[in-house]
Every structure is written in C-alpha cells, then in structure tokens.
Chain A
C-alpha cells in the first residue's frame, strides 16, 4: 500500500510540476502563441491552471503526509545511520517549504481569480514563482530520496 501511495505521490507531483511550471513561465516570461517549443510553453492561458494546481498540490500534500510515517521509521533511520546529513537536511527543508506553500494556496487562488486584477499582477507573479520553486525543490529532493540507497548505498 505504501509503495502504491508513493508512486501516486510521485505521479501527482509530476503533473503539478508541469502545471505550475507552465503557469510560472507564462507569467514570468509571457509570449504570444506560435513559434518554437519554448515559446509555445510560455504562451499558455496561465489562469486556467490555477484550480488544477491547487487540487494537485493538496492531493500531493496529503499523499506525502500519508507516506511520511513510513519514511520516518524506515528510510530516515537508514539515512542517519549512513550519515547522509545533506540528504536528511534536504528532506527537512522540503517538509517545511511545502508546509509554507500550503498556507499560500488561498491567496494564490484569489490572485488568479478571473477577471484578473491588474493591481495584483506583481503578487500573482511572485506567489506563482515561489510555489513553483517549492514544488521543484520538493520534487527533486523526493526523487533523490526515492533512490537514496541506489545512489548512496554503501
């Protein structure tokens, strides 16, 4: 069951990563439709991603919270025995960053409400960029942890 939830956690995080990266790049480096892959990536209608991103963040967060005890008992113990302090610290950062991101979600929803308020453009950009950075960090740390014994096993 834990393996199933872990894989589901990974899959939802990939979809969330895609949605938030699309939205963040569209708002940070807006582009008109057409052109190459990168231009097309940035020229999406960013507002349509908001609700999906919120739901995916919550689902990924809850799945992470459900598998956390298994990590705490089995994985972290092994990481500490292996003296992989940077890996352990990276997870500590991940858990705190995603928690802070959770508290930003209601405001994130508000600033992306249609019709978009031009007065909230700066907040919209920053809050999306911060959430995107949090999710990228969480994803990379989770991916390394998932493979920790293969990468750092002694």
Chain B
C-alpha cells in the first residue's frame, strides 16, 4: 500500500515539478554542446546554444523524490487515489501543448 501511494505521488509530482522546472528554467545542470562542457545550474548560452533539458529532468526527479519521501508519511491518514498518477501527467501534457502552441500559430 505504501508503495502504491509513493509511486502514485511520484508520477504526479514528477510531472508537476517538471512543468515548473521548464517554465521557471530551474535546471540543475546545463550542457554546452559546442564546448562539450557541463555546468551547474541554469547557465546562459555562451559560444553556441545551452541545453537545459537534462537539468530540468534532474531538477524534477530530485524534487519529486524528496517531496514523495516527505509526503508519504505525512499524508498517511489521507487516501491517495491512483488516478492522480495519470490525471496530473495528462494535465501537464495538455499544459505543455497549450504553452507550445505558439510554434504553430506564428
């Protein structure tokens, strides 16, 4: 039961934290592909583009793991339905489609 609650929360929290990480550009790491160099945090582009995607993934994974570990014992008396584990990611997917619609309506 604890495993079910933890994995449900993780699926929901990962999606939400990932959306926040992308929109706020909270990247744990940045990759500079032209220099083949890594850096901590969300760094600006220098000689060539800066890639934040790996950093957003790392931020979301770290935040979701920590939040799940805290939430499972804290919310132990509250029922967590498993549908949260797919409704939240689906909502985040719709949110991304909405945010990225600008590419299709230029």
Q: Which residue of B lies closest to A110 (CB)?
A: B7
> B interface, how many residues as a size bin?
35 or more
Given A65-B54, A103-B14: A93 in contact with B100 (beta carbons within 8 A): yes
Contact with A along B1-35 (1 / 0, CB 8 A): 00110011011001100100010000000010110
Given A69-B51, A110-B7, A130-B86: A100 in contact with B15 (beta carbons within 8 A): yes
- The total of interchain contacts (Cβ-Cβ below 8 angstroms) comes to 101
Residues of A within 8 A of B53 (CB): 68, 95, 99
Where chain B touches its partner, the secondary structure class is helix
Cβ of A103 and Cβ of B82 under 8 Å apart?
no
Where chain A touches its partner, the secondary structure class is helix
Q: Which residue of A lies closest to B56 (CB)?
A: A99
Cβ of B60 and Cβ of A103 under 8 Å apart?
yes
Cβ of A123 and Cβ of B90 under 8 Å apart?
no
Residues of A within 8 A of B (CB): 65, 68-70, 72-73, 76, 85-86, 88-90, 92-93, 95-97, 99-104, 106-107, 110-111, 120, 122-123, 126-127, 130, 134
Residues of B within 8 A of A (CB): 3-4, 7-8, 10-11, 14-15, 18, 22, 31, 33-34, 36, 48-49, 51, 53-54, 56-57, 60-61, 64, 82-83, 85-86, 89-90, 92-93, 96-97, 100, 102-104, 106
